[in-house]
Structure 1
Amino acid sequence: MRALATIVGVVALAQPTAEFTPVPSYPAPPPVTYDIGQLKGDAKPDEVYEQDKVCVEGRASGDLSAKPWGQMHLNFEQAWRFGRGDGQLVAVIDTGVNRHPRLAGRLSGGGDYVAGKDGTDDCDGHGTMVAGIIAADGPEGDQPKSAFKGVAPGARILAIRQSSKAFGKKDSGSTRAGTHSTLAKAIVRAADAGAGVINISSVVCMPAGSNWPDVQAAARYAREKNSVVVAAAGNVTTAEGSNCGRPNRPDSVQTVPTPAWLDADVLTVGAISEGGGPATFTMGGPWVDVAAPGTNNTSLDPGTGASGLANRYVEGNQLHDIQGTSFAAPYVSGVVALVRARYPHLDATQVMERIKKTARQPQGRTGRDFHIGYGMVDPVAALTAVLPEEQGINPRPPLRSTVDIAPATPADHRPLTVALVGSGIALGLLALTHLAVRARRRTT
């Protein structure tokens, strides 16, 4: 499903090594019936939450001045020849985003459903790391001491804090901040704020057949408001911090990640490992659209007041790598921001199609893979491909001929055979004549 394209300076990407897994059919979400008016209003907590856990801290392992593998594989520098996402507003619906210097002047608060602030407080650090992958730049523009940058370093970030593992419901510490209702409200709020991209790296998984009509309605509303909703596919139980239980199989879909499965209205992102194949933790499903680097990531230090970078973080006295589909999704959100800046005339649906049609196919195959969709997102191709349908050209399928074609006439080798036989006889007679002449000369 690779589109006609003019590709400029595309770097060779590691190709998925796992076997291509075709996508089965799966029931589409039901029709949208929820009243979107119930999701509008001020951003405020639905319960009274209190912080009852220590905030995360960033850690460094190895040389953080080196360029991360994901940044090299996606070839940001070539993509930036066509723009850096300037002017694009990317909403990060997450645990908030700290005011990090590498986002200076480009971060604004969009609301807080946890503590009633503006969204620029992030005790969990998750949203800060997500925002860094999307749009971090070097301090004061370019910083040669560190090669790390976000995918769209010219984009602006709108921080909306919707959930937190560090905050629990008052008098019921087991209930964490964040519900499907606040998620739906946050999506509507981001769309109304004019966000061209909405990144959702938080996933709630439910048994197959379940649905949250308010989240579904919010995702549909956002697309109709011309916002591209980018959602993480979710992590299975083999990953740290998993939230999606048992993995799906092509012959058995048991888990529905929300909002990832709302395929018509959401661009869903799986994770690829540094080796080139689907990450062991990425949740598969027929709704997965594309994939991006999800392991061994580097981003902004998630600690409160931090100013550097990190490739690990400490949460609950445990050390974690920056990995998961949560950190694959922001790569795609950054690419969407680049595309929206370069092609402002495309609507949200067209942008989603461009991202899918220019992705690098697994094993060179066409079609949709169960775990990584149409393949690894390709920023340069997404910015340079010429798609006929965007030009109002709808290619027709090739016509099949119904004319009976007679088989080819067998070749007649008789003339050649006669010629060869005649030539052989003549040569034989010539040889006999020569021998007779020589014999006569000897006798005389």
Structure 2
Amino acid sequence: MRSARRPGVPVPPQELPMRLSIRPPAAVVLAGLALACAVPNAVAASDTTARLVVKYKTEAQAASADASRVRVQALAAKTGVELSALRQTATGATVYRMAEPVTLARARQIAARVAADASVAYALPDVRVKAAALPADPYASMQWSLQDSSTYTGAANLFSAWPSGNTRQIVVAVVDTGLLAHPDLTAHQIGGYDFISDTTIAADGDGRDSDPTDVGDYCTDDGTDSSWHGTSVAGLIAAQAGNGYGVAGGAANNALLLHARVLGRCGGYLSDVADAVVWAAGGSVSGVPTNTTPARVINLSLGADAGTSCYTYLQDAVDAAAARQAVVVVAAGNDGAASVGAPANCSGVIAVGAHTVAGDLASYSNHSADVTLTAPGGGSCMTLASCDSRPTYTIGNGGTRAASAMSELTGFAGTSAATPHVAAAAALLLAVDPSLTPAQVRSLLVSTARSHPSGTYCASHAGQCGAGMLDAAAAVAAIQGPVVTISGASVVTGSATVTLNASATGAGSGAS
């Protein structure tokens, strides 16, 4: 039976200049609209609006104030929502002001009931925007991979993807070396299970058990130290943001971490990985207690050698997870080969290659038609002669065999590092709209991916690197902002006060 291994190992951190990224307005312009309820005191101003922008299909409709008043009066009798016209925009739309600000969630509920008038070209919220400062974590400024692509070409726009308003915490399973109680993770860890069935590989005194603690995965056969790989992967997904310690994860406070230990001394077995995938998604595994906190995202930063087939027992596990609405995200592998191995070549997974700071394919990254997209993994470039080869940055541990001092900053390169960036983006999408299916999550990530830059390997080798580079902010923006229309109204001139009926359609329409 083939053994699974971890495609990415920590590398030493290095000093980098601090940078501040600014969120582009396009990432938030559809963040929400609200129309008809008072805002609770605890709701932040950025999560509310008191304005909307409406444009009509013809100038005649926009200029017909008398017709507008008639229509608005009829709507006022139905809704009781009072609006006043503020101004015309440069492109011919009208900005309306509501009597009081309302929540974005309420806006989505109202918008779902409106949107039928043939005279309206569009109606959209006029939402507040602000500079997106880095999280209050001392090393967040070094995390190029989570920052804006306007600053680093290969960055995944994860910090700017963090959704506003009331969202959920999504359970993400890290199927890896297990759990360490790292100070940057403990607030988000919800336990897990040890799936290593071989007692020698487990090295914790027994086989499978309810303790997923990472006791070290060093391998005397090949002279490698313990990697604390699962901790570094988990840090890229859900290191606590804003706690004044360490780094921030890509999904930060929108994710909870479920650890399934499958990698021990010198690796692990795919059969254990298969059982862990089924269990993580909430399925039944003989002899293992039921998982009461099923994961919606499963991160597999591991794999067999390039070319290894996706065996039936592994494909069955992936299918079982998908049937339970879990998104399975898998590392493409670090063989530098023009093929991938299992589980990255299983049907229905999101297979992730790695690119560098500059957006070139990383020299170690596997690439083939099985790759779904690439994400930041750091390291050396496949093609570009001048290459910024810094790794991604996360957390770790300093022990060479047993765990010792926790690290607030660890360099981490490989497709193992690229994969949790995509898992974090998937978690953010589900935090906004938990009704999304695995296929819909995949489609959103693929359709919003950015093209690889000109001159890079992927740009000149079509079909080898998937849809492009991960753009988490674009994916979240694609579902977070509903389009709003106004029924039977046109522009009101002057200082007239009007009432409109409105609703929005879009993901996360006010559900909690």
TM-score, L = length of structure 1 = 0.61
1:432 is aligned to none
User: Equivalences for 1:385-400 in 2 at 5 Å?
Assistant: 385=478
In structure 2, how many angstroms separate the alpha carbons of the residues matched to 1:57 and 1:355?
A: 27
Q: Partners in 2 of 1:196 and 1:284 — Cα distance?
A: 26
Residue of structure 1 equivalent to 2:344:
260
- Tell me, what secondary structure is at the counterpart of 2:341? strand
Count of residue correspondences: 296
| Bigger shift: residues 283-292 or 294-303 | 294-303
Gaps of 5+ in 1: 1-55, 168-175, 238-246, 249-254, 313-321, 393-444
Distance 1:271 1:57 in 2: 15
Which of 190, 213, 221 is the equivalent residue of 2:312? 213
State the Cα deviation string for residues 210-247 of structure 1 (Å, max 9, x = none): 3411111101111111000000000115xxxxxxxxx2
Q: CA deviation at 1:306?
A: 3.3
Residue aligned with 2:231, SS: helix
- Secondary structure class of the residue paired with 1:101: coil
Which of 191, 204, 209 is 2:281 aligned to?
A: 191
1:356 maps to what in 2? 446
Structure 2 residue aligned with 1:402: none
- Alignment match, 2:252: 153
Q: Kindly tell me: are residues 150 and 368 of structure 1, through their superposed partners in 2, closer, same or farther at Cα, counting changes over 3 Å?
A: farther
Please give the alpha-carbon distance, in whole angstroms, between the structure 1 residues aligned to 2:163 and 2:313: 40
Q: Which moved more, 1:225-234 or 1:363-372?
A: 363-372
Q: Of 423, 437, 446, which aligns to 1:333?
A: 423
Cα shift readout 1:228-280 (whole Å, capped 9, x = no counterpart):
0000000115xxxxxxxxx22xxxxxx441010114x1001000111211111
Cα separation, 2, equivalents of 1:379 and 1:234 = 22
Contact 2:169 2:256 in 1 (8 A): yes
Counterpart for residue 15 of structure 2: 62
Match of 2:276, SS state, is: helix
Letter in 2 for 1:201: S
Is the Cα contact below 8 Å between 2:450 and 2:468 reproduced in 1?
yes
Matched with 2:405 is 306
Q: Corresponding residue for 1:110?
A: 192
Counterpart Cα distance in 2 of 1:188 and 1:375: 29
Q: CA–CA distance in 2 between the matches of 1:275 and 1:57? A: 20
Give the Cα separation in 2 of the matches to 1:234 and 1:221.
23
Alignment match of 1:71 (pick from 141, 146, 152): 146
Amino acid at match of 1:311: T
Q: How does 1:335-414 map to 2 (within 5 A)?
A: 335-363=425-453, 369-385=462-478
- Give the AA of the match of 1:158: L
Kindly indicate whether residue 240 of structure 2 is the aligned counterpart of residue 137 of structure 1.
yes
Q: Is the 8 A contact 1:98 1:305 kept in 2?
A: no
Q: Is the 8 A contact 2:340 2:366 kept in 1?
A: no
Deviation at 1:163, TM superposition (A): 1.2
Deviation at 1:198, TM superposition (A): 0.2
Task: Identify if the C-alpha distance between structure 1 residues 271 and 256 changes in structure 2 by more than 3 Å, giving closer, same or farther.
Answer: closer
Query: Contact 1:85–1:152 at 8 Å: present in 2 too?
Result: no
CA gap 1:81/1:347 in 2 versus in 1, 3 angstroms? closer
Write the deviation string for residues 98-123 of structure 1: whole angstroms up to 9, x where unpaired.
Answer: 11011123113321123444213252
Structure 1 CA distance for aligned equivalents of residues 393 and 166 of structure 2: 19
Deviations 1:149-169 (A, max 9, x none): 1101121100111012xx2xx
- Aligned position for 1:21: none
Deviation at 1:206, TM superposition (A): 5.3
Aligned amino acid, residue 282 of structure 1: S
Name the structure 2 match of 1:243: none
Amino acid at match of 1:156: L
CA contact (8 A) 2:156 2:421 kept: no
Q: CA deviation at 1:281?
A: 0.8
Post-superposition Cα deviations, 1:115-150, rounded to whole Å, max 9, x if no partner, equal: 444213252301110000000014xx431x75x311
Query: Which residue pairs with 1:37 in the alignment?
Result: none
Give secondary structure in 2 for the equivalent of 1:311.
Answer: strand
> Shift in Å at residue 190 of structure 1?
0.5
The answer to whether the Cα contact below 8 Å between 1:94 and 1:201 also exists between their aligned partners in 2 is yes
Which is higher, the Rg of structure 1 or of structure 2? 1
Partner of 2:170: 88
Which among 181, 191, 204 is matched to residue 271 of structure 2? 181
Q: 1:180 to 1:158 in 2, by over 3 A?
A: same
Sequence identity (%): 34
1:235 aligns with 2:334: yes
The C-alpha deviation readout for 1:63-121, integer Å capped at 9, x for no partner, is 57333211222233321243697421000001112110111231133211234442132
Which range moved further: 346-355 or 223-232?
A: 346-355
Corresponding residue SS for 2:351: strand
1:397-436 maps to which residues of 2 (within 5 A)?
none
Q: Is the 8 A contact 1:83 1:342 kept in 2?
A: no
**1:342 and 1:368, CA in 2 relative to 1: closer, same or farther beyond 3 A?**
farther
- Give, as a single letter, the amino acid of the residue that structure 1 aligns with 2:257: I
8 Å CA contact 1:58, 1:301 repeated in 2: no
In 1, Cα distance between the equivalents of 2:161 and 2:297? Answer: 18
Note if contact 1:90-1:199 (Cα within 8 Å) is conserved in structure 2: yes
Matched, 1:285 2:380: no
| SS at structure 1 position matched to 2:469 | coil
In 1, Cα distance between the equivalents of 2:182 and 2:451? 36
Determine helix, strand or coil for the equivalent of 1:205: coil
Match of 1:100, SS state, is: coil
CA apart distance, 1:368: 9.3
Please name the residue that 1:269 is paired with: 352
Paired amino acid for 2:396: D
Aligned-residue offset at 1:371: 3.7
TM-score by length of 2: 0.53
**Cα distance change of structure 1 residues 224 and 269 upon mapping to structure 2, 3 Å threshold:** same
Checking the alignment, whether the CA contact within 8 Å between 2:159 and 2:250 is kept in structure 1 is: no
2:330–2:352: 8 Å Cα contact kept in structure 1? Answer: yes
